[in-house]
Structure 1
């Protein structure tokens, strides 16, 4: 879908250049410099500002309200970006560059483009004509498990701040998404007993045990693919994937330790604990067999991240209709996970709608088009005026 405006505003470009220049890599870099400039701009518009911080106080969530704490729309986006290390960029990743209709830079699509549009539209907002409150949330460390938004939501609950709806501006090409999969990220550590490889069978080979559990995960993934699904998703079933495996130090030593990470992406209708139960049961059975040989052997499965799915409910009907009236298009369900599931779980009707294509997110030479930014500005301006 294209906007009648062929170019985005100079204000959006200026904001995007500033946001991209802030190297806010998840978990590794502070976002406080980015927030300082945003804070100054929003306070100048009359917004009341709140902060919640990471434990080391190097990263923060910014929450801004204009027109009251209750009611109105919350526009939410994360400030962190994924690393550029190991990617072959053809241009400086933290400098906004333009080529034709495309703007390049880390985070332009996911999701600093949306934040730039929000800030540009708010600068033009006729605050005297405002009919409802406006809220803005900028969160930290979304890319590593939606970390920051959790403390933000706790803060809103404690102080009775309750928007009537939330729009999370992840890249959907300005299509309204009402459902996405949930995610559990898990780590499995297997501890056996090292031996010289010529004595295989005396100790417990942690790598072999890990492989047996990986095979069980693959079997469960196949069963999910054959089970009941949801045709509204591009991948219409819950998925399991092993994403990282590490074991062993030398070819003549039986590995004492093996570790792997695996990922569950589950449909809104699925129970993640039920999906994982057969894997936990198989791990317990393997551990019993390990301990029959070496009592100190063990398998530890830990959950690293848990983000709920976003479900389509009647509570979102009003904000969906307002977005349609503002010029957004109807979208399908998506497989990627966002903070929207957490906002919804906190009782705030939430949808996902933002500029850019998820296919460009996290890639080398990440880009967004000027037309997408222009459309986003147009939709947001109409939404806030409604």
Structure 2
């Protein structure tokens, strides 16, 4: 029952490219990472289930389960969850090979070092230090696909009928600060279809850029409405945000623009449903479609991600606060938490590394944080799944 040491696991995980991207030319399978994790889990006497995603062939989830000895109990316990994919990278902005773990200035550099393949090295190292004969509750490791794009992996897991952990900890990089709630994410394309024509006779066309100017005006009004109508003090940015992120349209100065498209990003608070938000967006552009019938379309760029809502007084939050010696917080980014929470488990987000490094060139883990983070993860597993006094 042996697994590689911590740094060897880290090196192996970083060396397996598993980029997920909307651009098919960049998108890769995560199977190599899944296979490595599966072998390590089997070495620790876990039963391993590998599932190809229904709507994303070539992408895989791994669910490893280990029950207490001499027990048929298969509900309850702790699930440690993370995603196996990474974002794409800009090679010109990295000072080292993103797929080679590089130690420099007391830091471990590599793509996925904190977001978030490295989390699995922490988890497996911790479990390998515990004596299974003292395990008294189910222990699970979940590794998902495509978190960085569609979250299809977590959404598929949410439909798993026999998976019923009591607790779930998602190891996104929070510097081991427990996160009990976060905002959602909705990205939409607003497409204006006009009529092109020669610029010398404007009345013979419908300029999509001019119509888009009206759309933007109404979106900015919606932005202020969201800011004034909804607020939760736990968040550093206490209101929903709406960002105008990308726009393109037209092809020549002397042609009436026939099509213009704007991409927007909205981050809803807990309590503001995706359905309600989508209706608010449609209501905002309705007067323009009444003036120019069928001119404006709203197209989802990906399936929206709902906000994650937890409680500060839950047993898992209180335990995580005690072990980490840090108060649970709310964050503005989103994770797989709202989907995994659907399994009926108390859920938090808490893992090693800083979110400030996520999606950045030269992504790295500060080595000074390894031992403190490892100790919290080890203690968490012991408290949830072992006879704590005898486990190690």
1:68-123: CA deviation from partner (whole Å, max 9, x where unpaired)? 53111000001111111376111111211111321111111211221221122222
**Counterparts of 1:46 and 1:33, CA distance in 2:** 20
Contact 1:87–1:364 (CA under 8 A) maintained in structure 2: no
Partner of 1:32: 31
1:328-367: CA deviation from partner (whole Å, max 9, x where unpaired)? 5223210000001112234222101111111111011111
1:72–1:280 distance in 2 versus 1, CA, 3 Å: same
Contact 1:328–1:379 (CA under 8 A) maintained in structure 2: no
1:282-331: CA deviation from partner (whole Å, max 9, x where unpaired)? 3222122223xxxxx532212322112111237x7122233234345223
Shift of 1:271: 3.5
Are 2:139 and 1:134 equivalent residues in the alignment?
A: yes
Partner of 1:53: 52
1:278–1:34 distance in 2 versus 1, CA, 3 Å: closer
Count of aligned pairs between the two proteins:
369
Partner of 2:353: 356
Query: Alpha carbon RMSD of aligned pairs, Å?
Result: 2.0
Partner of 2:387: none
What secondary structure does 2:333 align onto? coil
What secondary structure does 1:98 align onto? strand
Are 2:199 and 1:180 equivalent residues in the alignment?
A: no
Contact 1:188–1:299 (CA under 8 A) maintained in structure 2: yes
Shift of 1:188: 1.9
Shift of 1:264: 1.1
**Counterparts of 2:74 and 2:256, CA distance in 1:** 60
**Counterparts of 1:152 and 1:51, CA distance in 2:** 11
Residue ranges of structure 1 left out of the alignment (5+ in a row): 1-8, 292-296
| Mapping of residues 1-386 of structure 1, within 5 Å | 11-27=5-21, 28-54=27-53, 55-67=55-67, 68-85=73-90, 88-154=93-159, 156-157=160-161, 160-291=162-293, 297-303=294-300, 304-313=302-311, 317-327=314-324, 329-386=326-383
**Counterparts of 1:92 and 1:264, CA distance in 2:** 34
**Counterparts of 1:240 and 1:33, CA distance in 2:** 37
Contact 2:64–2:141 (CA under 8 A) maintained in structure 1: yes
What secondary structure does 1:178 align onto? strand
Shift of 1:12: 2.1
What secondary structure does 1:242 align onto? strand
**Counterparts of 1:279 and 1:152, CA distance in 2:** 30
Most deviating of 351-360 and 52-61: 52-61
Residue ranges of structure 2 left out of the alignment (5+ in a row): 22-26, 68-72, 384-392
TM-score w.r.t. length of structure 1: 0.90
**Counterparts of 1:187 and 1:204, CA distance in 2:** 20
Contact 1:186–1:305 (CA under 8 A) maintained in structure 2: no
Q: Between the two structures, name the one with larger relative contact order (CA 8 Å, sep ≥ 6).
A: 1
